[in-house]
Chain A
Amino acid sequence: MKENYTGKPANRVDGRAKVTGEAKYAAEFNVPNLLHGVVVNSAIAKGTIKSIDTSAALQLAGVVQVFTHENRPGYTWLDSHYMDEDAPPGSPFRPFYNNQILFSMQPVALVVAESFELARYAALLVKVEYEAQPHETDLESNLPRAYTPKKYKSPPPTDPRGDADTAFAQATFKVEEAYAHPAHHHNPMEMHASIAIWHEDGKMTIYDKIQGVQNSQKYISTAFGIPQEDVQVLSPFVGGAFGSGLRPQYQLFLAVLAARELKRAVKVGLTRQQMFSFGHRPATVQRLALGASAEGELEAVKHDAIAETSRFEDYNEDVVIWPGVLYDCENVKVSHQLVDLDVFTPLDMRAPGGVTGTFALEVAIDEMAYQLGIDPLEFRLKNYTNTDQNKGKPYSSKELKECYRQGAERFGWSKRKMEPRSMKEGHQLIGWGMANGAWEAKQQEAAAKAVFSPDGKLTVSCATADIGTGTYTVMSQIAAETMGLPLEEVTFKLGDSTLPKSPLEGGSWTVSSVGSAVKLVCEKLQEQLLEQARKMENSPFKDANPEDVSFAEGRMFLTQAPAQSISILEAVQQNEGQPLVAEASQKPDKNQKNYSSYSHSATFVEVMVDEDLGTVKVTRMVSAIAAGRIINPKTGRSQILGGSVWGIGAALQEHTVMDHRLGRFMNHDLDKYHVPVSADIHETDVIFVEEKDEIVNPIGAKGLGEIGIVSIAPAIVNAVFHATGKRIRELPITLDKLL
């Protein structure tokens, strides 16, 4: 690819809309006669609803209806009709299905009223009587119930390689420890909301907070038996999601249910408290056993994870793949088991599995480096792998060594003394730690449409999403680059289910998937432009083939004779005043199968830990990232900075606390569930290491949504060890753990 518009920092094309308040999120569309729905959630974690008394609520003038399992219409209740694109194996949760309570804060009623305030009040008047049954929500005490799921959501753990048990038993140096990662909730700033608009012809228009409008469209279509073409889902702006919008959440179902029954437009927005009533990053316990030779070669790795899931779906994520991705070792054995609990099904959350697994692995690696007395970076270099050990395939590119080199240099790692508690300023113990990480660079099938109008404006579209990742901007850049048009002439449309097919926006694959489709559709448009150009009198392109022609600065020209050029506008105007339209679908190239593709990161961290009070401050951080081509270094840097903030949160603050007596998450608001604030964030340096990859996808970009977070928390844990000599194996590192 050329680099006139890509590879350069560009301001977000949707920036103006976002800084003026004009960008509209799901709950913000002004619909006439809109009804407001407020959800009532269950007080218990398991049992049955004995009765629901909605009479007091219904007495209020302006309360239109209260929906419960008792009066919901009889829709299809087949599991398959509730399976969305991101559903794990099992039986999806169906709101208001029956009187069974499957988890605490399960939606049990929807109050619909003429105003939000009234619906909120009426919701308090709904009286629900329960018959509680004993529940289980504690992963630790239920570990003996761990089972191997019949079917894994993500690829099953790989078969053992070599003989890890024997190699571990015979190893000179051993680390064998357990690591605990708590439950996290996504908590995007925008709370989930949906507006469902019923039309007289039975069609529905829906505004939804979702990472894939077509996922919501299909879900509503099958769950309610509405033809897919009669459901249009719109989501032009998403106020963060981080995975919470991968699956349609219950407010969507309830808004549609109410709108269809009442033949009105209905908005259902969740409260911040209710943002804790659906998916979360699962609590996971891991056991790592590493064996190494006296020379510092990894001889055995055993990595076993046990994670929570719900009673109705078997959710799992890639927790135990990381030893095979990151290290060269002949004897490896991994396992991933589940414990089903009375909770909602866990849900992919920024770098699912990567955050959890890398934490345990990278802390264990640091522990081994200390046993061996080898610098942790040196130890990683000794065990570097150029092949993906899980798949037995070479990497399509891997510049992790360059990440180490540039990151270490920027940070000043060579000045580090190995021994813990070797640096101090006043009461502050200073520690330096590092970790590395990886994230798979996948490409999914995606389609795009391009419309080039006679006024020279190019509109490219795809039903993808921009959850803050910069999709609007980078797709515009890719289209501008391919077409040789100024960025201002290009508009990218997304977030509309009628647009060409898109995968969910997740997995860091949007640039690779949608970007590749955008590139392809623009190339198709170029062919059409060439056809038009050939029609012109004395056309220099009469005998030109597509591969002979280049596009730049608003002109098309013969690559071998750049002086032979016309403006693109002239070419499009040959089409008798009609726009040129192209559509294309891009699938991953078969050659990709011969390789493994991952982005990589190396993070170096400085912490200050108060020797008496245990407070931890991350004073300095350098993350070096190798992620192929960086389409927009400005928005890309922001993604990595964001990942760093998430890593600090995971390391030091975030945990959703369950009261197991109640089976209920108790810190269900932003006062009690801590995420980092401005005062927690100090020097953060981002380095993008150059990495050329012509195999990974036609764009050569690996995605940046997740690679920025995975190595942060373990680097902080390792830095805290270096500062204090204390090894913390249970996140988050709150001050009480360091007293």
Chain B
Amino acid sequence: MRPFTFTQAPDIATAVQEVSSDGAKFIAGGTNLLDLMKIDVMRPSHLVDITQIALDTIEETEQGGLRLGALAKNADTAYHPLVEARYPLLSHAILAGATAQLRNMATDGGNLLQRTRCYYFYDTHTPCNKREPGSGCSAINGYNRDLAILGTSEHCIATHPSDMAVALAALEATVHVTGKNGDRAIPFADFHRLPGDTPHLDTNLQPDEIITAIELPAKGFAQHYTYLKLRDRASYAFALVSVAAALDLDGDSIKEARIALGGVAHKPWRVPEAEALLQGQPATRENFRKVAEAYLQGAKGYKDNTFKIELANRAIVRALEQATKMEAIA
């Protein structure tokens, strides 16, 4: 780890001011930032501790939704009575990620800003366009079993590692940010980026901006939902493929469907046109298969991860079935 200067920001304005200096970064939970600083992947010269700012409340909005303070801990969010009751999909997704220890530390805002766990990003002795723009992507022709099949570019096939973000994508959350130019609200679908030719940029957050809150709309799909996470061990592993599925059912008929995939792309993957195929349709395996096919249109496998296309396909079907029946998840 390289040396850095350290300050604690008492309020948002100071935080924004402090982070505008060259090489400055915010630190809150620190679970991914310190991990990466220790192996020299992240090299901030100044850290701004924002944990003293009162941004950890979870409260209802006037629109009937819920506002998660950016500094609310993942564990506090997942176990919050309003989240459990109205957004159980989010609760399940958070609890599918990391460990009790990490969820007690990690914040909701920080969760969205996690970096990819690509092997090559994590090893400074290998080329990586995300870590060092222009150096090349080691993963495309390297070991890529864990990596993306959708929305990739010739420069990067990294995946976004968050489980929470997959549920937030399905729930169509909004990310509230504050910067030097004031406040912005970013629809969740626009928050994370695809790699394109700028894989070093994970999100559309500007350097001087701080996440202040994540807002959930009123509709929480609390009756029919599932978060299905497929991974190499039963806990404490990132997703190979995950599916956040939420259904609004009228009897057997689907009024609205939401599906977001994790572990397959540089951002939580949603295809609203594919979701729309289910609108007004009966909740049958056949229809689920159709939407799964549509979701994986354009998917591209690499040397070791082609299986993810079929796995994601089957996982979507299974997740939608589970969401329909709401049986205990095996």
Contacts and interface: CB of A to CB of B under 8 A. Distances in A.
Q: Tell me, yes or no, whether A and B come into direct contact in the complex with CB atoms closer than 8 A.
A: yes
Nearest to A123: B40
Given A653-B232, A662-B126, A612 B317 contact: yes
Contacts of A734: 232
A661 B141 contact: yes
A537 interface: no
Contacts of A401: none
Contacts of B142: 659, 661-662, 666
A563 interface: no
Contacts of B237: 674
Contacts of B230: 613, 615, 735
Contacts of B40: 124
A604 to B, nearest CB: 21
Interface string B303-330: 0000100110011011000000000001
B311 A674 contact: no
Contact of B233 (A117, A661, A662, A680): A680
A679 B310 CA distance: 26
Nearest to A669: B122
Given A124-B2, A610-B330, A612-B317, A659 B311 contact: no
Contacts of A428: 330
Interface string A347-359: 0000000000000
B129 to A, nearest CB: 16
A57 to B, nearest CB: 12
A736 B318 contact: no
Interface of A: 43, 117, 120-121, 124, 273, 426-428, 608, 610, 612-615, 617, 652-653, 657, 659, 661-662, 664, 666-669, 671-672, 674, 676-680, 734-736, 739
A472 B209 CA distance: 58
A615 B228 CA distance: 12
Contacts of B120: 666
B119 interface: yes
Contacts of A608: 330
A736 B122 contact: no
A661 B142 CA distance: 8
B123 A668 contact: yes
29 contacts: A43-B125, A120-B38, A121-B2, A121-B3, A124-B2, A124-B40, A427-B318, A427-B330, A428-B330, A610-B330, A612-B314, A613-B230, A617-B234, A659-B138, A661-B138, A661-B142, A662-B125, A662-B126, A666-B120, A666-B123, A668-B123, A674-B233, A677-B235, A679-B234, A679-B235, A680-B233, A735-B311, A739-B311, A739-B314
A713 to B, nearest CB: 15
Contacts of A677: 233-236
B48 interface: no
The 4 closest A-B pairs by CB, nearest first: A679-B235, A679-B234, A736-B307, A43-B125
A735 B146 CA distance: 12
B240 A735 contact: yes
Contacts of A739: 307, 310-311, 314
Q: Which of B3, B122, B232, B307 has the most CB of A within 10 A?
A: B232
Contacts of B122: 669, 672
Nearest to A671: B117
B143 interface: yes
Interface of B: 1-3, 38-40, 117, 119-120, 122-123, 125-126, 138, 141-143, 145, 230, 232-238, 240, 307, 310-311, 314-315, 317-318, 330
Determine chain A's interface SS by DSSP, over half rule: loop
B143 A612 contact: no
A180 to B, nearest CB: 15
B235 A678 contact: yes
A103 to B, nearest CB: 13
Nearest to A658: B143
A394 to B, nearest CB: 43
A613 B138 contact: no
Given A117-B1, A674-B233, A739-B307, A613 B314 contact: yes
A613 B1 contact: no
B260 to A, nearest CB: 18
A169 B127 CA distance: 52
A121 B123 CA distance: 16
A680 B237 CA distance: 12
Contacts of A680: 233-235
Contacts of B234: 617, 677, 679-680
Given A612-B318, A659-B142, A653 B3 contact: no
Contacts of B311: 613-614, 735-736, 739
Contacts of B1: 117, 120-121
A73 B193 CA distance: 53
Nearest to B309: A739
A302 to B, nearest CB: 32
A735 B123 CA distance: 26
A590 to B, nearest CB: 49
A671 B240 CA distance: 13
A672 B117 contact: yes
B199 to A, nearest CB: 19
A734 B317 CA distance: 21
Nearest to B318: A612
A676 B233 contact: yes
Contacts of B123: 664, 666, 668
Contacts of A120: 1, 38
Nearest to A124: B40
A120 to B, nearest CB: 6
B233 A273 contact: no
Nearest to A427: B330
Contact of B39 (A273, A427, A612, A678): A273
A736 B238 CA distance: 15
A669 B237 CA distance: 12
A659 B318 CA distance: 34
Contact of B143 (A124, A273, A659): A659
A121 B43 CA distance: 11
Specify which of A43, A678, A680, A739 lies most central, judged by the most chain B CB atoms within 10 Å of its CB: A739
